[in-house]
Amino acid sequence: MSEYGSIKYDCRFFRGGIPCKPNKTSNQVCSTCTEYAPIQTRILIIKLGAIGDVIRTTPLLTRFRKEYPNCHISWITQSPAVLPKDLVDEIYTPDFLSIYKIKQYKYDIAINLDKEVEACALLAEVESERKFGFTWKNNHIEAATPAAEHKLVTGLFDNISKTNTKNYLEEIFEICHLDFQGEPYKLNYNQNLAKKWNSIREEANGKKIIGLNTGCGVRWQTRLWPQENWIELIKQLQNDGYYPIVLGGKDEDDVNSYYVQATGCFYPGHFQLDEFIALVSHCDVIVTAVSMMMHIALGLNKKMVLFNNIFNKYEFELYGQGSIIEPSTGCDCYYGNTCSREKHCMKDLSVAQVFNEIKKWADA
């Protein structure tokens, strides 16, 4: 023991060799600190995947904080920017130093929700009292507990996946030996950056702002809605007193510029993720195919019209804030990136159907 008293190595705020937050903000030291928070449960979440995949896993944070009030949560991901800093104590990216550091800790609960080799191998190697999700054994992926077998099997066999009626959140809570109780998405949202886009409200002049996410990423091109349909929808929204704006990333820049030329609608351009989220926060309704935008909209608690064709619609949980619309003729290309029909099924999703759904949610 030093003249300053015992160091509380088990405190949630302990940061190793540098000052903790209570010391930085109010010069507190361990022996007299009023913010001492001993860790009772140390949790590791392995979710390396894409931005949307990470966002849709955040409802677990709320539940863990409820089930384990004095827990310390670490998360390793390739998309750290979207994680809420007030709910995650330590955020790692999957590099050598981070993985080396993770392996030095002993966890009470470790969870891997990715089915890639590197994520499964990390769960297998990390030291933890309990492990949930997907691990690595005998040169193959394996369920860490029987609760993960359902999600493993539906990922391996399309015919079984098609019969699934559980949404993703029900599945991942089940994997963690919990029951989903409507826990919300949590998103790192920069309110100060959002103020930059207050001008959108001024331009809309009281009209409901309809955000049209016109792309769907490069992986699942079978989800694209025809350009002529977007143009017709934009014009109909304008004529009916709404303020449509087209949204997307760098891959959608050319086509969104084309929509501006064809309709005169507003297109703010494409931005880094934090600014894109700030921009989307000003929309009243989001229209999108299943994509990162869906998860951003849910993280911002936005009303939504969601296009779907190639996925199982039961997979999606919209929290009563939106509706899923599909081509009237169905889709033959389950999880496919090429269409087997002469006429693409997304052409059978009518502008009238989309417009009516937008109007329902905008006027609700």
Specify the pLDDT at position 216.
Answer: 77
Q: Work out the average pLDDT over 94-99.
A: 96
| Spatial contact of 285 and 301, defined as CB atoms under 8 Å apart | no
Residue 349's pLDDT band (cuts 50, 70, 90): confident
**Residue spans per domain, the chain:** 41-175, 191-362
| Spatial contact of 113 and 172, defined as CB atoms under 8 Å apart | yes
Percent of the chain with pLDDT over 90: 74
The topology under which CATH files domain 191-362 is Rossmann fold (3.40.50)
Q: How many CB atoms lie within 10 A of CB 8?
A: 18
Q: How many whole angstroms separate alpha carbon 60 and alpha carbon 184?
A: 9
Place of tokens 């951003």: 296
Is the confidence at residue 143, as pLDDT, over 80? yes
Q: Tell me which residue of 175, 144, 176 sits closest to 64, measured CA to CA.
A: 176
Is the confidence at residue 159, as pLDDT, over 90? no
Is the confidence at residue 254, as pLDDT, over 90? yes
Q: What would you report as the CA-atom Rg of the chain, rounded to the nearest whole angstrom?
A: 23
Is the confidence at residue 262, as pLDDT, over 80? yes
Please give the sequence-ordered ranges of beta strands (E in DSSP) within the chain, or none if there are none. Answer: 41-46, 71-76, 90-92, 106-112, 127-137, 140-143, 209-213, 243-247, 285-289, 303-307, 322-325
Torsional class of 37: left (φ above 0), alpha (ψ -120 to 50), beta (otherwise): beta
Angle between helix 253-263 and helix 227-239 axes, rounded to 10 deg: 50
Is 191-362 the same fold as 41-175? yes
Give the predicted TM-score (pTM) of the model.
0.90
The topology under which CATH files domain 41-175 is Rossmann fold (3.40.50)
